[in-house]
Structure 1
């Protein structure tokens, strides 16, 4: 397999008056199976998502919830569902005193570009809209797909067998992100090349009447994200115990896991009688020796998807009534 990635020079500064698709079509020769990669910044410029001010001015409206704070850095889950520093708001490659917000709907932007490019060139192409993002556990940034149309954004290998006969269970390459990263290698950050052409993966490009699931399908649901909060934020959310903060902690853990977690912060006895509460949720009497702090046990319950419903103390310790919450 051979992959060729090119990024043309010469595109003008993009404004809301620009016909972005026409400029792309003029800058490269497109054929069926090509993938056109466009930075979200030029898409945003074409869609009028540039405004005066600084990041803080727009952060609240672009934020669904805060994931983590560390000094001046705020990581948020955006209104699009993406988890990004400063909600992806950018102040580079734009006039001083201005900021660029992400497109309102990057998948819709990709679909519109794909349709327009087909009208202009007759070519069946895929379109990827990219932005730069950091990664958990690693320094540095890479480009990812925030919008996509006309291509499979992931290749599901589950159920296949490798060359040694091993079953592949969870292998799911996010090919749209890999394409975004490859394009960034030739676009560069300071070279004024916001568009790239990726040729050689026509097998990923869909029929012209099928735009695919879009990049939004790569976003992991909050309830299955093991890192829904940063370390500090998770502690604060669990202690505060607000119902709206439950989803990132996921589905209720098994009651034995809850008991083990309580034992990590306080010596615990055993699980008492199990039942169902009025809402049909699993409920148990959790017998705890000694004099634990109620606030601490409530936070442990919250973090594991359980609710502390009742707290009865006697000379032997505490019987805490707990029930499984709904994420």
Structure 2
């Protein structure tokens, strides 16, 4: 497939994490007393809970079967994005896959390599599955970006009737991730990359970290 100017290459987080060596054997994890107690309350493996705590800055909510945390990257979700599906569990026992240490840096490296090989001006989005409060089901979300405008700020502009826009902030990065996830799938499809074509090259290069809402704007704390 030939890549062209403006194409956005969307890559599943799982293959990025595997390439960056983020696979951890649970046999090598020693749970703390905090992890053991939290595992008891959530009916989870204490070793997995320890990894979640190591990757997080705050436990947001917990109950049997559910552990919602704030990841050190600022993402809020279940189990700090740590996954045990679609990874090999060898003779050494169960393993778990962590998010990339710096998904935006991963996206930048991928973009540089792809642009060098194709000669095209590209965007790159690293996608992951995400759940949203008060909505059922998972969708794709951007956790790492390079070469795209992640937020399209329309505040100060006007709608079709001339009314000034006060709060309109369009999340382009998550829109790309969601489109790509429809093609890539989230279970057994084995399609880790999707390319969105037909877009003009972005003049702005923003990281996915810009999407994270500042803590001082959290209305539910």
RMSD of aligned residue pairs (Cα, Å): 1.3
1:145 to 2:118 alignment: no
Distance in 2 between the 1:83 and 1:29 partners? Answer: 36
Matches within 5 A, 1:5-154: 28-53=1-26, 55-96=48-89, 97-154=94-151
Question: How many Å apart are 1:227 and its aligned residue?
Answer: 2.4
Q: Indicate if the aligned counterparts of 1:153 and 1:215 stay in contact, CA closer than 8 A.
A: yes
Residues 106-255 of structure 1: pairs in structure 2 closer than 5 A: 106-189=103-186, 190-203=188-201, 205-206=202-203, 212-228=205-221
The alpha-carbon deviation at position 129 of structure 1 amounts to 0.5
User: 1 CA distance for matches of 2:63 and 2:170?
Assistant: 31
Tell me the TM-score normalised to structure 1 length.
0.58
Offset at residue 179 of structure 1 (A) = 0.5
Partners of 1:184 and 1:201 lie apart in 2 by 18
Deviation at 1:70, TM superposition (A): 2.4
Q: Please report the TM-score for the alignment, with normalisation by the length of structure 2.
A: 0.85
Q: How many residues align?
A: 196
Distance in 1, matches of 2:218 and 2:124, equals: 27
Q: SS of 1:138's equivalent?
A: coil
Query: 1:293 — aligned with what?
Result: none
What does residue 34 of structure 2 align with? Answer: none
Counterpart Cα distance in 1 of 2:48 and 2:116: 37
Which structure has the larger Rg? 1
Deviations 1:65-93 (A, max 9, x none): 11111222111001111101000001111
- The superposition leaves residues 270-309 of structure 1 with CA deviations (integer Å, 9 ceiling, x where unpaired) of xxxxxxxxxxxxxxxxxxxxxxxxxxxxxxxxxxxxxxxx
Would you say the 8 A contact 1:55–1:91 is kept in 2? no
1:108 is paired with a residue whose SS is: helix
Give the secondary-structure state (helix, strand or coil) at the position aligned to 1:80.
coil
Q: Which runs of 4+ in 1 moved over 3 A?
A: none
1:201 Cα deviation after fit: 2.4
